[in-house]
Amino acid sequence: MRITLEDAMVEMGACARAAKAALAGAPADAKNTALMAAAFKIELRKNDLLSINAADLARAQNESEAFRDRMTLTPERIAGVAAALREIAALPDPVGRIVREWTRPNGLRFQRVATPIGVIAIIYESRPNVTADAAAIAIKAGNAVILRGGSECLSTNMLLARWFREALAEAGLPADALQFVETTDRAAVGHILSGLKGTVDLVIPRGGKSLVKRVEDEARVAVLGHLEGVCHVYLDRDADIDKAVAVTLNSKMRRTGVCGAAETLLIDRARLADLYAPVAKALKDAGCTLKGDAAIRAIDPAVEPAGEDDWSTEYLAPILAVAAVDGVQGAIAHVARYGTSHTETIITENAVTADRFLSAVDSAIVLHNASTQFADGGEFGFGAEIGIATGRLHARGPVGVEELTTFKTVVRGDGQTRP
Amino acid sequence: MRITLEDAMVEMGACARAAKAALAGAPADAKNTALMAAAFKIELRKNDLLSINAADLARAQNESEAFRDRMTLTPERIAGVAAALREIAALPDPVGRIVREWTRPNGLRFQRVATPIGVIAIIYESRPNVTADAAAIAIKAGNAVILRGGSECLSTNMLLARWFREALAEAGLPADALQFVETTDRAAVGHILSGLKGTVDLVIPRGGKSLVKRVEDEARVAVLGHLEGVCHVYLDRDADIDKAVAVTLNSKMRRTGVCGAAETLLIDRARLADLYAPVAKALKDAGCTLKGDAAIRAIDPAVEPAGEDDWSTEYLAPILAVAAVDGVQGAIAHVARYGTSHTETIITENAVTADRFLSAVDSAIVLHNASTQFADGGEFGFGAEIGIATGRLHARGPVGVEELTTFKTVVRGDGQTRP
């Protein structure tokens, strides 16, 4: 009898589901031991990982340089992966945490207690470090996890997943709590999104627009969306010029391929004359290409024109669209129209203007006088993250271990009945 | 040109969306004024409401007694509706609440601030008081709301909705923040569930199994599910007999039509001999019909047999399925197999056994020595609720004003850039 992909996926879901209760009830020590064991294996067997990653890279000659860079493991990156696992192991256990407690006049004592979500499926693209981070964060939060990585890194990811399963077993936890989809068949994703309803409690897509769109269209289970970040820097009329230069440069150029990188610069028309030149110079010196609206091109004709599409483009490259706006209200309106509710920052010395921006901009993360590249679980102090959620429910912004828990309400009484 | 239902629904969504920002930024006073004004109108125009409700009831002659009872408004119930609105107005404003704040070593100051969700669609069945409660809770949390009530109460609901829109306008808020679907065409629900993707941020179904199933199957937007409550009372071997009788009776019979009513009684086989008789007597005296498994029928042959379906039936009636189980582990296993993750209680004087049950039972609400009928936002101290969420994300248990907010992270710096 031939085993179909559907059979295999159902079996995988059943295995994860069966491991769920053991993970949910696992003591913190067991989960941490598993993460430490995985870190140890990754360091010890570094050369196996490098050579299998080299084989994946050899098959990916036609991919872009940026893509291949994200796929690539180096000894330093491997050390970083292991270090991240140890950091996650060192985090406080999020399960059983009492989020809130209160007592009612009738004597009933209420506790809102953090519990695991259950079975989480994570569908992601190229980076192999996501395999380790996602597995570790999900396990730390007491969840069983189904991982589906990008096909280009299949061999690297499979090896990492196998070591995680070994590590779980060594810690006395079911290896089946980690399932890795060992096929590049895209139909497998469809099975996760609709066929595993009732088995998978949450799907987290992490990747480009087309992946997230597919997940949102097809999912019959809850989704924690990680949409693109068309992040904005707004330089207000009361901006400090040094902060404006430093924060804009860092927001755009520190790393251009991350979702928290700025893609649009908005400048208050009232300060265009003195703010644009130094900011543009710093960006150009760092290798950034600018695209401007009419107002920008009027003062810097060498800049290429920005079209309507540019305002909603996530370049993930050293390109920045620049527009003049009419004060903070103009900036708020521009972000509302083109933004992706990810991360935006205002540079101003005026606290009232800052509060207006922070309050009116409806994004997961809003900053004042700080770089958009702080949109990161590590920078938030979460230790690690699976991504930046841009949906509106459950979690917004960095998704770390706490965000992969839910809660129940425990009520203790002494025989109370309701009148 | 004929206006199609689809056009009308799109227009309705656009109106709600346009009102969203005004509601999100509304001062607490304005929202509370609107709720107080609605309460005032409802009391002042009580007779209009009673006569239109009588007309709805006259058209619903073929419905069951329980259904007609839920539809019915009385002067007392109307006073209750107005009182609930005033209570919701008196609650602290959930928007802008600082959920958490922390500072990082680089000096960045983080605040997790509660914000409205946006546009919430609430699809519910017969009770007209839900129209008022749902509107009030959504508005209090700064959301625009689209209401779709049960067709049997259409006239009553339309009148209530119209008064709310008047009240919003009188408080200086856009009347369009409340939209009521003024048709009984079931296709309207389909438009909300899939056609208004990008407009509606959250759908809350409140009603029976078939409604919730339809919403879950068709929704292309986030859903806060309110599934049925097959709630369990477990009488442990260390149960106090008086508490066992009182809590079981209250859990089943206080009101049989609410989702927190017990539907299954589990009794530790070790105490069947002395616990069953007094509990069964109290239930029967109160008019409850018992259905038993083989062990129950062995000691009480007059009880009709419970079939496999009974363990997963939400009777919402004075009927209780009773089974003997092997201790707390047997109870946990029964709940895991047949429960709906709503509300379960354990009656025991043994704290260790209680903790085992409270920890292992994966329901939104787990109680110790207290009635399942405490599964209610008012009893939790939330003031009011839209229902009891049985999904796993964002909110579990009673959904009150805080549960209808989400959050954003506000980060304040002084020019920080990320290394």
- Give A368's contacts in chain B (Cβ within 8 Å): 410-413
pLDDT digits (tens, 9 = 90+) for B110-136: 999 999 999 999 999 878 999 999 999
In a domain, A313, yes or no: yes
Asked if residue B236 and residue B322 are part of one domain, the reply reads yes
Identify whether B166 is part of a domain.
yes
With vertex at residue B197, the alpha carbon angle to CA B145 and CA A333, rounded to the nearest 5 degrees, is 75
Instruction: Grade residue B234 by pLDDT with cuts at 50, 70 and 90.
Output: very high
Tens-digit pLDDT profile for residues A258-272: 899 999 999 999 999
Instruction: Order the strands of the B343-347 sheet from edge to edge.
Output: A98-103, A109-116, A405-416, B365-370, B343-347, B231-235, B262-268, B319-325, B289-292, B304-305
pLDDT tens-digit readout, B48-77: 999 999 999 999 999 998 889 989 999 999
Q: Are A117 and B392 an interchain contact pair (Cβ–Cβ within 8 Å)?
A: yes
Say if B104 is an interface residue toward chain A (CB within 8 Å): yes
CATH number at residue A41: 3.40.605.10
User: Is B202 touching A (CB cutoff 8 A)?
Assistant: yes
pLDDT at B222: 86
What residues 345-404 of chain A have any CB closer than 8 A to a CB of chain B?
A: 354, 358-360, 362-371, 373-374, 376, 379-381, 391-394, 396-397
The number of beta carbons lying within 10 Å of the beta carbon of residue A61 is 7
Q: Using 50, 70 and 90 to split pLDDT, how confident is the model at B216? A: confident
Q: What whole-number distance in Å separates Cα of residue B296 and Cα of residue B284?
A: 15
CA B389 remoteness from chain centre: 6
* Together in a domain, B313 and B353: yes
CB contact under 8 A, B243 and A415: yes
Residue A144 contacts residue A178 (beta carbons within 8 Å) = yes
> How high is the pLDDT of residue A225?
79
Do A209 and A272 belong to one domain?
Answer: no
Letter for the amino acid at A417? Answer: T
Question: Total domain count for chain B?
Answer: 2
Check CB contact under 8 Å for B417 and A249.
yes
In B287-393 the beta strands, taken as DSSP E runs, fall at 289-292, 304-305, 319-325, 343-347, 365-370, 388-389
Contact B394 A391 (CB under 8 A): no
**CA-CA distance, B273 to B299, in Å (whole number)?**
8
Residue of B nearest to A356 (CA): B25
Mutation for B interface: A411, A412, A414, most B CBs within 10 A: A411
Given an 8 Å threshold on Cβ–Cβ distance, is A362 in contact with B24?
A: yes
Residue A393 lies inside a defined structural domain of this protein: no
Q: Is position A372 within any domain?
A: yes
The answer to whether residues A222 and A307 belong to one domain is no
Question: A72 and A111 in one domain?
Answer: yes
> pTM for the whole thing?
0.91
pLDDT at A24: 94
Chain A environment of B406 (Cβ under 8 Å): 392-393, 396
pLDDT digits (tens, 9 = 90+) for A65-90: 888 998 999 999 999 999 999 999 99
Angle between helices B128-140 and B75-90 (to 10 degrees): 10
The range of the structural domain enclosing residue B254 comes to 231-377
With CB atoms and an 8 Å threshold, state whether B418 touches A24.
no
In a domain, A55, yes or no: yes
Interchain CB distance below 8 Å, B201 and A392: yes
Q: Does residue A409 sit at the B interface (CB-CB below 8 Å)? A: yes
Average pLDDT over residues B396-408: 95
Give CA–CA dist A106/A127, Å, rounded.
54
Lay out the sheet containing B98-103: strands in order across.
A304-305, A289-292, A319-325, A262-268, A231-235, A343-347, A365-370, B405-416, B109-116, B98-103
Q: Judge contact between B57 and B72, C-beta under 8 A.
A: yes
User: What's the CA gap between A155 and A118, in Å, rounded?
Assistant: 27
Closest CA to A385 of A87, A16, A35: A87
Q: Is the pLDDT of residue B403 over 70?
A: yes
**Are B112 and B88 a contacting pair, CB within 8 Å?**
no
A1 has pLDDT over 70: no
**Is 70 exceeded by the pLDDT of residue B1?**
no
Q: What is the pLDDT of residues A187-231, one digit of tens each?
A: 999 999 888 888 999 999 987 778 888 888 888 888 887 778 999
Long-range contact set of residues B155-159: C-beta below 8 Å, sequence gap at least 24 = B155/B52, B155/B53, B155/B55, B155/B56, B156/B49, B156/B52, B156/B53, B156/B56, B156/B71, B156/B73, B156/B128, B156/B131, B157/B128, B157/B131, B158/B182, B159/B48, B159/B49, B159/B52
pLDDT value of residue A41: 98
Say whether B193 sits in a helix, a strand or coil.
helix
User: Exposed, middle or buried, A269 (CB in 10 Å: 0-12/13-18/19+)?
Assistant: middle
Instruction: Considering only the beta carbons, identify the residue of A24, A202, A366 that sits closest to B410.
Output: A366
Q: Which of A110, A354, A408 sits opposite B364 (nearest CB)?
A: A408
Interface touch A417/B249, C-beta < 8 Å: yes
What is the per-residue pLDDT for B217? 82
Token pair 């009385």 is found at B74
The winner for highest mean pLDDT among A8-17, A171-180, A212-221 is A171-180
Cβ contacts (< 8 Å) between A117 and chain B: which residues?
A: 392-393
Residue B211 shares a structural domain with residue B237: no
pLDDT category at A175 given cuts 50, 70, 90 is very high
List the single residue in A110, A250, A414 with the smallest CB-CB distance to B417.
A250
Mean of per-residue pLDDT scores for chain B? 94
Task: Give B331's pLDDT tier (boundaries 50, 70, 90).
Answer: very high
Residue A279 corresponds to which tokens in the numbers above?
């900011």
Q: Provide, rounded to the nearest whole percent, the portion of chain B with pLDDT above 70.
A: 100
Q: What is the pLDDT of residues B162-207, one digit of tens each?
A: 999 999 999 999 999 999 999 888 899 999 988 888 899 999 998 7
Q: Identify whether residues A124 and A241 lie together within a single domain.
A: no
State whether B244 and B293 are in the same domain. yes
CA distance A394 to chain B (A): 4
Residue corresponding to tokens 């296993």: B333
Residue B416 lies in a domain: no
| Beta strand segments in A170-229, E | 178-180, 202-206
Which residues of B, range 220-259, sit inside 8 Å of A by Cβ?
220, 222, 224, 240, 242-243, 246-247, 249-250, 254
Tell whether A287 and A142 lie within a shared domain.
Answer: no
> Which residue of chain A is at minimal alpha-carbon distance from B342?
A408
Q: Between the CA of residue A42 and those of A39, A91, A132, A140, A249, what are the distances in Å?
A: 5, 20, 10, 18, 35
CB–CB contact A396 B409 (8 Å): yes
The predicted-structure confidence for B264-285, as pLDDT tens digits, reads as follows 999 999 999 999 999 999 999 9
Together in a domain, B200 and B236: no
The verdict on A100 touching B (C-beta cutoff 8 Å) is: no
Is A392 contained in some domain? no
Kindly state whether residue B388 falls inside one of the protein's structural domains: no
CATH number at residue A256: 3.40.309.10
How many residues are given for chain A?
A: 419
Q: Are residues A220 and A235 in the same domain?
A: no
pLDDT digits (tens, 9 = 90+) for A354-371: 999 999 999 999 999 999
On whether any CB of chain A is under 8 Å from the CB of B24, the answer is yes
Per-residue pLDDT, averaged over B92-100, amounts to 95
Q: What is the mean pLDDT of chain A?
A: 94
Nearest to A54 by CA among A138, A125, A131, A159: A159
Tokens of B418: 């990320």
DSSP lists the bridge partners of residue B290 as: B320
CB-closest option in A25, A240, A410 to B358: A410
A54 and A156 share a domain? yes
